[in-house]
């Protein structure tokens, strides 16, 4: 028997095929959309997936301000951050965040679904979120994906 045919191929930075993908967030539920985006960024949809390598695709998200939250999450969910000063804890609801920075809701959701290490920080740079329907990545010829 030829044992070489059973070798597992482990991807590395040089052998990875990275594509560009466009996702339209209009009328999509936030958590369901972001979990699919995180899978694509991580590369879990590819047969050559390797856990310790950035083998996912670059994802462009358009219409971020038109994302949907179910139930009363738009007013009841709370994002907590800290300024770094004593008593500097700040709270914001998704409604406030969408008005101030429409990209922030999707970015924080996807960031929470990626690994919490150096690889996760590197993977997060493969996400490009835009509030409107226009994006400056036409030269990369991204493929559109529907969820």
Residue 9 located in a structural domain: no
> Taking 70 as the threshold, does the pLDDT of residue 1 lie above it?
no
Domain interval for residue 57: 20-69+101-144
Percent of the chain with pLDDT strictly greater than 90:
91
- pLDDT tens digits along 10-19: 899 999 999 9
- pLDDT tens digits along 20-50: 999 999 999 999 999 999 999 999 999 999 9
CATH number assigned to the domain comprising residue 54 = 3.90.1180.10
DSSP 144: E
- pLDDT tens digits along 71-104: 999 999 999 999 999 999 999 999 999 999 999 9
Total domains in the chain come to 1
DSSP 3-state of 39: helix
pTM of the complete model: 0.91
* Calpha distance 135→138 (Å, rounded): 7
Residue 113 located in a structural domain: yes
Residue 26 located in a structural domain: yes
Residue 27 located in a structural domain: yes
Q: What is the pLDDT of residue 100?
A: 96
Q: What is the pLDDT of residue 4?
A: 67
Mean pLDDT of the chain: 94
- Locate 55 and state its tokens: 């083998």
Q: What is the pLDDT of residue 139?
A: 96
Residue 86 located in a structural domain: no
Residue 57 located in a structural domain: yes
* Calpha distance 105→29 (Å, rounded): 12
Q: Are strands 20-24 and 58-62 parallel, antiparallel or unpaired?
A: parallel
Cα 91 to chain center, whole Å? Answer: 23
Residue 54 located in a structural domain: yes
pLDDT band at 2 (very low <50, low <70, confident <90, very high): low
Residue 93 located in a structural domain: no
């Amino acid at each position: 028997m030829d044992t070489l045919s059973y070798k597992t191929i482990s991807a590395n930075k040089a052998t990875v095929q990275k594509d560009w993908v466009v996702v339209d967030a209009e009328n999509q539920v936030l958590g369901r959309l972001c979990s699919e985006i995180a899978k694509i960024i991580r590369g879990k949809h590819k047969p050559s997936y390797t856990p310790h390598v950035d083998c996912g695709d670059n994802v462009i998200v358009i219409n971020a301000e038109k994302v949907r939250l179910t139930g009363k999450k738009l007013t009841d969910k709370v994002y907590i951050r800290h300024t770094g000063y004593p008593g500097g804890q700040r709270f914001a609801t998704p409604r406030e965040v969408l008005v101030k920075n429409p990209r922030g809701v999707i970015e924080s959701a996807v960031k929470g679904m990626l690994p919490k290490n150096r690889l996760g920080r590197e993977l997060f740079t493969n996400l490009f979120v835009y509030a409107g329907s226009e994006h400056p990545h036409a030269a990369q010829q991204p493929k559109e994906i529907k969820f």
